[in-house]
């Protein structure tokens, strides 16, 4: 029998299958045994591409981060607009794959896409005039905020039963049962409010910094 023109297994196929498992069932669903079964191969064959399971998850996480737009840090966009655009793109990538967020929250490690993102943000902030230490803090702050917003839905945390929120106990939650129905409006609105507040606060710091240097 002639050999297949394409190999049965590749890094890309393993990563795509692992990401689908994470999306559908969560991080705990990913194991070398489960992946081998999903791919229709023997478990040891995975080790020709990845040494351990965490290497697979690293590749999955990096695949998600690679979807984040970084062009705004390279095309001369002012730092305020760049942070807004990057924050939105970053959140869009994470909310499409929320189950990988806890693993991503560990930091970029040696993941190429994660390191490219850290490098682009830091470089963009320093080029805009932020001191290196503060540029590092800005990148970290944005990561905390975006990752936190992608971990879950505030609106879905409330049940759609009006009787669950007795006015005697919760006088200000009379409309809380409607939140889940308007999840996208609530959650995206909250993210935009917070993102704008962060950038507005940073702009005040930036102006203060400039005035100190001029003085």
Q: How far, in Å, are 70, 81, 145 from residue 199 at the CA level?
A: 17, 9, 12
Which residue, 213, 67, 78, 87, is CA-closest to 149?
Answer: 87
pLDDT above 70 coverage of the chain, percent: 95
Higher per-residue pLDDT: 7 or 144: 144
pLDDT tens digits along 105-115:
888 889 999 99
Q: Structure pTM?
A: 0.88
pLDDT at residue 210 in the model: 74
> What pLDDT band is residue 82 in, cutting at 50, 70 and 90?
very high
pLDDT at residue 95 in the model: 95
Q: What is the mean pLDDT of residues 16-42?
A: 93
> What pLDDT band is residue 1 in, cutting at 50, 70 and 90?
very low
The DSSP secondary structure of 52-77, one letter per residue, reads: SHHHHHHHHHHHHHTTS--GGGTS--
pLDDT tens digits along 115-138:
999 999 999 999 999 999 999 999
Q: Indicate if the pLDDT at residue 72 is higher than 90.
A: yes
Q: What is the mean pLDDT of residues 195-203?
A: 97
pLDDT at residue 215 in the model: 57
């Amino acid at each position: 029998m002639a050999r297949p023109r394409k190999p049965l297994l590749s890094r890309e196929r393993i990563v795509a299958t692992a990401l689908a498992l994470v999306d559908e069932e969560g991080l705990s669903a990913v194991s070398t045994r489960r992946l081998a079964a999903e791919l229709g191969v023997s478990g040891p064959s995975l080790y020709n591409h990845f040494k351990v399971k965490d290497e697979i998850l690293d590749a999955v996480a990096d695949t998600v981060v690679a979807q984040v737009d970084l062009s705004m840090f390279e095309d001369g966009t002012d730092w305020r607009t760049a942070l807004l655009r990057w924050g939105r793109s970053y959140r869009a990538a994470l909310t499409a794959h929320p189950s990988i967020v806890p693993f991503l929250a560990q930091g970029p490690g040696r993941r190429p896409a994660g390191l490219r993102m850290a490098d682009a943000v830091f470089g963009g902030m320093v080029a805009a005039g932020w001191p290196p230490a503060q540029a590092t803090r800005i990148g970290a702050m944005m990561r905390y905020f975006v990752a936190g917003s992608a971990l879950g839905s505030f609106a879905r945390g409330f049940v759609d039963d009006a009787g669950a929120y007795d006015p005697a106990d919760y006088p200000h939650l009379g409309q809380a049962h409607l939140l889940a129905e308007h999840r996208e409006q609530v959650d995206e609105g909250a993210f935009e409010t917070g993102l704008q507040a962060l950038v507005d606060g940073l702009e005040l710091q930036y102006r203060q910094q400039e005035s100190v240097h001029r003085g």
